[in-house]
Amino acid sequence: MPGRMEGRVAFVTGAARGQGRSHALRLAEEGASIIAVDILENYDSFDYQLATDDDLASTVAQVEALGRPIIARKADVRDLAALTAVVDEGVKEFGHLDVVCANAGIVTIQAWHDVAPQVWTDTIDTILTGTWNTMVATVPHLIDNGGGSIIATGSTAAIKGFPYGAPYVAAKHGVVGIARGMAIELAPHSIRVNTIHPTGVDTNMAPYAFEGVARMEEKGHLTPEARQAMEASLGNLLPVELVDARDISNTVLYLASDESRYVTGLELKIDAGSTL
């Protein structure tokens, strides 16, 4: 039986690991051909390891093991020319583009007065400008295709307050703004634009977030009372601390498929009740 994405082509940013890899695999499982990018470099302003060449190679191997083709390249979402070149290459190879997953992101956990200017800039440029660049690079192909689906990765931090992550919260709120505007602007072209809003996800970023909390405690920025308030604001109602990346990918699949053909401008939460 044909999969729900049979004959379709999906572009995924931040695809070397984490949610990006999971999205690429889930769409490939349902028949999609994949165009994938990741930065494959660390940021000087961030003290955790980003994806590597080996990570992206593993994504390629796993997609190919599903019998689906993939074009995977090193590209920084902050670089519009680089993104456009990869998208153009993929469309030339596969013939068209149907789905866009603007997923790439970074996160920092620190008190507002510890946020260095470069941390602010890198976070906004990656999450917010990176989402915009992804749309700019892909929308002409979606128009040529007669329509398609754009899925931008938000966060519960795009819906409510989120302590000790001001650059991340600002960027994710901005992603929702871009998506709302583009959903209206692109509707005449049968292009749907939606955002997804996960709670904490069990990826490589999760340990870094926990380490960030520990560092703030060591510096005395997070008193026991402040930590209790933070946990209350971030906790899930359902009895789970972190959800699986595949839980988010199943939502991506829904928004990419014809099952959501009249769904646009939606902010879809996979948050275990954390925003209630």
- Domains defined for the chain, CATH in brackets: 9-266 (3.40.50.720)
Categorize the per-residue pLDDT at 229 as very low, low, confident or very high, splitting at 50, 70 and 90: low
Whether the per-residue pLDDT at 268 is higher than 90: the answer is yes
The count of other CB atoms within 10 Å of the CB of residue 49 is 10
Q: How far is CA 9 from CA 57, 129, 246, in A?
A: 19, 23, 19
Marked catalytic residue, from 43, 168, 208, 262: 168
Assess contact for 138 and 150: CB atoms under 8 A.
Answer: yes
Categorize the per-residue pLDDT at 216 as very low, low, confident or very high, splitting at 50, 70 and 90: low
Which residues, at least 6 apart from 3, have a Cβ–Cβ distance to it below 8 Å? 29, 30, 31, 32
Distance between start and end Cα atoms, the chain? 39
pTM above 0.85, yes or no: yes
pLDDT at residue 230, as a whole number: 67
The count of other CB atoms within 10 Å of the CB of residue 116 is 12
Would residue 168 show up in a list of annotated catalytic residues for this protein? yes
pLDDT tens, residue by residue, 76-94: 999 999 999 999 999 999 9
Residue-by-residue DSSP string for 178-194: HHHHHHHHHGGGTEEEE
Categorize the per-residue pLDDT at 109 as very low, low, confident or very high, splitting at 50, 70 and 90: confident
Looking at residues 235-261, what average pLDDT do you find?
96
Backbone angles phi, psi at 35, to 5 degrees: -110, 125
**Beta partners for 37?**
13, 73
pLDDT tens, residue by residue, 141-157: 999 999 999 999 999 99
Tokens linked to 240? 């789970």
